[in-house]
Chains A and B, each alone.
Chain A
Amino acid sequence: MPVLEVKNLSKQYREIRAVDDVSFSVNKGEIVGLLGPNGAGKTTTINMILSVLEPSGGSILIDSIDVTKKRGEAMARTNFAAVYAHLPGNLTVLQNLRVFALLYDVAERAARIQEVIQEFDLERFTDTRAGLLSSGEQTRLSLAKAMLNKPPLLLLDEPTASLDPSTARTIRERIRAYANEGRAGILWTSHNMHEVEAVCDRVLFLSHGKILLEGDPSTLAKEHGKKDLEELFITVAREPLSLELQS
């Protein structure tokens, strides 16, 4: 059952079409990788799903709720972590989690906050201001906030970009386990193709605002005559037209 349904989504900025008639879905229990070079339209798509950017056309349903019509209800079923949206640096880890637990109307707040603090290894930092954390620790805090409300739809924009390989693997395993519980779908953007192969069930390649390719990350590269996903990514970035003709 899809937790996210994006239909004919587009975003036009004057003469620039940042997202062009994009349709896809994310099912419960599934991790979908949204890939593409810088400027492909990944973050624009995520921002529209998060309702901080109004689409020029198309629709977005989260758990069958139309984001444009019932924004509050749809956002209560969503959460996100993004490298560009750190939590306020002048609040402590605990204060941030308390504020966002209220915002997302989390049940049994105190207990849930303790759970995510432990889950993301933040016990030592509860009274530390978020701005004093290292970038990896801030990422873990963002992920803890993203998991507070156990969202049916989780959006992760380069969630492991600032993490060391060991922590990144642990985080990937936790998020994979969360998806495997079958109650949530995850949309994941990353520029790390090895990570994408390890964690995603399905990938979508965006180029110039359009979905160019879609498929299983373990077979997609071979289907297009490429050695691996990284080589496919580079082709999408440099010669998208050749792939468009193939598909």
Chain B
Amino acid sequence: MNTKRIAAIFLRYWFLLTRAPQRFFQIVIWGALDIILWGFITKYLALSGASFGFLTAFLGGAVFLDFIARAHQGTSTPALEDIWSNNLFNYFASPLRIGEYVIGLVCASILTSSVSAVVMVSIAYLVFDFSILALGLPLLGFILILFVFGVSLGILGVMIVLRFGPSGEWYVWPMTAVLSPFVGVFYPISVLPEWMQSIALILPPSYVFEGMRSIILEGTFDVSSLFIGGALAIAYVVVAYLGFVQVYKNVVRNGLLARHSAEGL
């Protein structure tokens, strides 16, 4: 691993962000809008007299769900920028290794998802008096699991675009949204039909959302679920990386990487 080459991948995206600040807009706007929307919905529900802790459960869910989406898109967007500008050829005809490229994308994702998280948490605290820090120490584990899982979705997204070309990006954007009904963002997994519960069991965010509700509503927390979620997230990122390496080898073998037109990829 060469840190300079990793820095090059990060630097390329940093230049794009700082040169065109409108790119920051998409990093913060979706999370901010979700927090505002869910914040007022939960406030309205609370006014109806329900004793259930809507504000904390729903806002916590919204913050976490958006955090997955930011980690996911934070990883895939820099790679999509390379594909849109036909830059992958320049990268992979250089000494850059595939692992260095992926780590560079993850570094970019750490930056963008952190910015987004700070904006969401600040709005939740300043507008709705909701502090995510109230979740205590498990919060750190939750964030790590969600970030690693989001990164695995991001790598999977890049893999899809590398395999199917730029039009494959239409599979990439909705990935987090497609998974959200299964992971119990706003409701316990137990309300899902059995087949959906089976899928929820193999998705790391399910353990985070269940854990968060357990802390908020019952004041208890099962540490073992954090470990299961963490182990699953690591497995996902390893499988996504290996899949990406395999697709890269395939496109080098069949010549798709060397065909330079956007739709040729």
Please give the residue numbers on chain A whose beta carbons come within 8 Å of chain B beta carbons, in ascending order: 11, 13, 44, 47, 50-54, 71-73, 75-76, 78-80, 84-92, 95, 98-100, 102-105
> If A75-B94, A95-B15 touch, does A89 touch B257 (CB 8 Å cutoff)?
no
B98 → A minimal CB distance (Å): 10
A52-B258, A85-B260, A90-B85 in contact; A100/B94 too (CB < 8 A)?
Answer: yes
Number of A-B contacts (CB under 8 A): 95
Contact indicator B97/A72 (Cβ below 8 Å): yes
Total count of chain B residues near the partner, CB < 8 A: 33
Residue in contact with B15 in the complex, picked from A75, A76, A99, A104, CB distance below 8 Å: A99
Q: Are B252 and A52 in contact (CB under 8 A)?
A: yes
Among A51, A53, A98, residue most surrounded by chain B Cβ atoms (within 10 Å): A53
B16 on interface, CB distance cutoff 8 Å: yes
Residue from the list A73, A91, A92, A103 in contact with B91, Cβ < 8 A:
A103
- The DSSP consensus for interface residues of chain A is mixed
Q: How far is the CA of A100 from the CA of B81 in the complex (A)?
A: 16
- Cβ of B12 and Cβ of A99 under 8 Å apart? yes
Contact A73–B95 (Cβ < 8 Å):
yes
Q: Which of B11, B19, B89, B252 contacts A102 (CB 8 A)?
A: B11
Contact for B19 among A51, A73, A90, CB less than 8 A: A90
In chain A, what residue has the closest Cβ to B250?
A54
Contacts of B2 in A (CB 8 A): 105
Determine the residue in chain B with the shortest Cβ distance to A53: B258
In the bound complex, do residue A72 and residue B252 qualify as a contact, i.e. CB atoms below 8 Å apart?
Answer: no
Interface flags for B225-265 (1: CB within 8 Å of A; 0: not) read: 00000000000000000000000010011110110100000
**CB neighbours of A13 from chain B (8 A):** 254-255
Q: Which residues of A contact B94 (CB under 8 A)?
A: 75, 79, 100, 103-104
Enumerate chain A residues within 8 angstroms of B15, measured Cβ to Cβ: 91-92, 95, 99
